[in-house]
Amino acid sequence: MIDFVAPTIDWAAVSPVLVVLAAGVLGVLLEALVPARARRSVQLVLTLGALAGALVAVALLWGRVQEAALSVVGGSYLLTPFGLGVQAVVVVCALLGVLVVADRPGGQDAFAPTAAAVPGSTYEEQARRAGLEQTEVYPLVLFATGGMMLFPATDDLVMLFIALEVLSLPLYVLCATARRRRLLSQEAAAKYFLLGSFASALLIFGVALLYGFAGSVRLGAIAEALAGQGASPLAGMDVLALAGVLLVVAGLLFKVGAAPFHAWTPDVYTGAPTPVTGFMAACTKAAAVGALVRFLFTLAEGMDAGTRHGVEVVLWTVALLTMVVGTVVGVVQTDIKRVLAYSSIAHAGFVLVALVGFSETGAAAVLFYLLAYGLATVGAFAVVTVVRERLTTPVPDAEHGAASAASDTLLGEATHLAQWAGVGRKAPWLTAAFALFLLSMAGIPLTAGFIAKFGAFSAAVDAGAWPLAVAGVVASAVAVFFYVRVIVLMVLTPPADELVPDGGAPDGGAPEAAGTDAGPDAGAAAHAVGGGAPTGTLTAAPAATRTVVTVVTTPGPAALVVALCAAGVLLLGLLPASVLDLAGQAAKFVP
Amino acid sequence: MPITNYLVLAGILFAIGATTVMLRRNAIVVFMGVELMLNATNLAFVTFARIHGDLTGQVLAFFVMVVAAAEVVVGLAIIVTIFRTRRSASVDDVNLLKG
């Protein structure tokens, strides 16, 4: 009989992922054990602690991984400096994202009391009155983060697939949990789920083809088979390999949100609870781009000139298309979350520009870009969470009863652009921070975005892809228009609600709610966001009731996040040297 | 019978699944299309495992099954929630977000 040989596992190398996933499991247990009142604070401490711990683990591993890539469980988990760099970006953005998730402007968080209740039902109303909270969002965020950290740290296509699912499934659920506009939220979840599972089916079929071609699911072995080495009986069938590579790339590009796989992005970003949108926009993109870099850079080593050229042509096309779609369609959007969604599509295009050429400078530029983009995005969505609609009733009337004895009720987010007019006068500091994020996304000098874009485009020029870099610069110039439009609106235009006395909106930036207290949840159902449709059936409120746009300026975690992100964006813009050095170290031996 | 026939069958099933996802309107049917794609993948994995004479492909098929099960749990939950609200599982009715 053969003795059992225990595998040697380098626990230190897996520690960042392990801490996050273990905390997620623990969080699910705590849901069952901790009394409801204490649950939120316990979960919050656990989540923040785990993410901080993961960040520390990443920092401790940084020096070690520079010497040689750490291979665990026979290479299934392969931690390269680049993978660790992406993990660092993901953890930093997730930490900020969780703080926004924990924010409770007006005493309510952004999540439904019970996401399973039918919107507008008595059960939901009871849950809301009882003050229930869906604290499961914290473990879900942790699981998603764990998947994202695993995503760029594996050379094994099966692990890639598993990581993809581990990061996607919690996000599908999180998308469906918004407190307000619940139908939109559920719809976003359904769209994300159907398209996401379609994309992962494409990816796994690509993996099957690559496995058939090379007889292995390790990227290194596949690269060798592509180079004509290896003993696979199907090694000559390049069609198989090309189809496999394209399918896997399609699956990854879907997660990146690049055209033509971007269709889900605007809808899902709009429908999902805003804190989740911020988290998802920053972290998913970082993880998916990281995985794409690992996949393409490793396989490019084995490709002959013809195949490599073919893959580069695909990348060029996708990058161009993504930049064009993101900027051109973004210009005509009227909803702030959709504007940010199209901006995120455009950014996917800019990141892909840096990838072309498969060079070390490209990989370093990608890392810096992901960090700069992530900070600005989490910050911008945090600002969106505090710009709210408020229902004010000058004289509390009998019709409302005791429920609205307080003369005003805080409603959902004011996401229509017209409602953002004059926000600058209500909250100057917040507006300044938001303007900073937008300018960074536009790539204005002295912000992180400028350095990031400069790095990305110069990497493309180094790789001989100067037309792509020129296209990127032009697209950035067009994008400046729609970022500056928002800033001008916030600072220079007088607020619309000072002029309009009634709940009926002047411009389709309709208040989402009827006058009743249950309005925010039930009324939102029938209201199309940014559709320009006046909510005729819903404005049954007394004429005295009006909806105004307010900015919740009470200090909370979201305000902290805005401050931190603004500081980060400025710091990366003014003193980028140290972070650029780190990014350079991380890209030392790509992938 | 040559073993490539199985691969052709896997390809056909995958194509049928992908077509279903893109053409059908009912969320449940769309989802069945995705499942068909995943199972076509399983067939391809197992066939390739036979060609290469190693077990990796068979193990992978199990992984895909587990993931497909997890996807069913999450996906059906979302679809059922929508159905309970709107009494319809058509993806055409789900169009508050125009995009």
Three-class SS of A423-447: HHHHCHHHHHHHHHHHHHHHCCCCC
pLDDT value of position A496: 66
Distance CA B92, CA A171 (A): 23
Residues 6+ apart with CB under 8 A from A91: A16, A20, A51, A54, A55, A58, A145, A149
Domain of residue B86, residue span? 4-90
What would the mean pLDDT of A68-82 be, rounded to a whole number?
Answer: 86
Q: A587 with A361: CB under 8 angstroms?
A: yes
B96 to A207: CB separation less than 8 angstroms, yes or no: no
Of B17, B56, B86, the CB nearest to A211: B56
Distance from A119 to chain B by nearest Cα, in Å?
A: 7
Which chain A residues contact residue B48 at CB under 8 A?
Answer: 208, 211-212, 215
Of A188, A193, A205, the CB nearest to B41: A205
User: Tokens 């970022």 correspond to what residue?
Assistant: A483
pLDDT of A115-151, one tens digit each?
888 887 888 888 888 878 888 999 999 999 999 999 9
| Confidence check: pLDDT of A346 > 60 | yes
Q: Where are the domains of chain A?
A: 15-385+431-489+556-587
A194 to B30: CB separation less than 8 angstroms, yes or no: yes
Is residue B98 assigned to a domain?
A: no
pLDDT level of residue A497 (50, 70, 90 thresholds): low
Is residue B31 assigned to a domain?
A: yes
pLDDT value of position A439: 93
Cα-Cα end-to-end distance for chain A: 41
Q: Does A266 touch chain B (CB under 8 A)?
A: yes
CB atoms within 10 A of CB B59: 14
Which chain A residues contact residue B78 at CB under 8 A?
Answer: 172-173, 176, 186, 189-190, 193
| Confidence check: pLDDT of A453 > 70 | yes
Is A199 or A114 the better-scoring residue by pLDDT?
Answer: A199
| Confidence check: pLDDT of A549 > 60 | yes
| Confidence check: pLDDT of A544 > 70 | no
What would the mean pLDDT of A84-90 be, rounded to a whole number?
Answer: 94
| Confidence check: pLDDT of A533 > 70 | no
* Pick from A26-40, A120-134, A140-154, A450-464: least confident: A120-134
Closest CA to A160 of A97, A93, A248, A246: A248
Mutate which: A197, A334, A512, vs B, most B CBs within 10 A = A197
What would the mean pLDDT of A452-471 be, rounded to a whole number?
Answer: 90
Q: A159 with A214: CB under 8 angstroms?
A: no
Is residue B33 assigned to a domain?
A: yes
Is residue B99 assigned to a domain?
A: no
Q: Which helix (H) or strand (E) holds A546?
A: strand A546-551
pLDDT value of position A149: 94
Is residue B75 assigned to a domain?
A: yes
Of A173, A190, A201, the CB nearest to B37: A201
pLDDT of A92-105, one tens digit each?
999 999 999 998 87
Q: Is the dihedral of CA A110, A116, A118, A120 positive or negative?
A: negative
Is residue B95 assigned to a domain?
A: no
Query: Which of the residues in chain B have pLDDT under 50?
Result: 99
Mutate which: A162, A211, A415, vs B, most B CBs within 10 A = A211
pLDDT level of residue A195 (50, 70, 90 thresholds): very high
| Confidence check: pLDDT of A318 > 80 | yes
pLDDT level of residue A112 (50, 70, 90 thresholds): confident
Helix axes A219-226, A238-256, angle to 10 degrees: 140
Distance CA A582, CA A572 (A): 12
Distance from A46 to chain B by nearest Cα, in Å?
A: 25
Q: Exposure string (b/e) for A288-325, b if CB count within 10 Å is 16 or more?
A: bbbbbbbbbbbbbbbbeeebbeebbebbbebbbbbbbb
Q: What is the mean pLDDT of chain A?
A: 84
What would the mean pLDDT of A142-161 be, rounded to a whole number?
Answer: 93
Number of H helices, E strands in chain B: 3, 0
- CATH code assigned at B37: 1.10.287.3510
A184 to B67: CB separation less than 8 angstroms, yes or no: no
| Confidence check: pLDDT of A49 > 70 | yes
Structural domain total, chain B: 1
* Pick from A67-71, A376-380, A513-517, B38-42: least confident: A513-517
Is A85 or A538 the better-scoring residue by pLDDT?
Answer: A85
Distance CA A442, CA A347 (A): 10
pLDDT of A215-237, one tens digit each?
889 998 888 888 877 676 766 67
A193 to B37: CB separation less than 8 angstroms, yes or no: no
pLDDT level of residue A407 (50, 70, 90 thresholds): low
Is residue B67 assigned to a domain?
A: yes
pLDDT value of position A183: 85
Q: A150 with A290: CB under 8 angstroms?
A: no
Q: Which residue of A has its CA nearest to B85?
A: A118
Distance from A115 to chain B by nearest Cα, in Å?
A: 9
What would the mean pLDDT of A300-322 be, rounded to a whole number?
Answer: 87
In angstroms and rounded to an integer, the radius of gyration of the C-alpha atoms of chain A is: 24
Q: A368 with A583: CB under 8 angstroms?
A: yes
Dihedrals φ, ψ of A72, to 5°?
Answer: -120, 150
Is A378 or A393 the better-scoring residue by pLDDT?
Answer: A378
* Pick from A31-45, A121-135, A229-243, A301-315: least confident: A229-243
Q: Is the dihedral of CA A236, A237, A241, A246 positive or negative?
A: positive
| Confidence check: pLDDT of A503 > 60 | no
**Residue A49 in tokens:** 């602690």
Residues, chain A: 591
pLDDT value of position A498: 54
Is A453 or A418 the better-scoring residue by pLDDT?
Answer: A453
Q: What angle do CA A442, A446, A451 make, to 5 degrees?
A: 65
Longest dimension (CA), chain A: 87
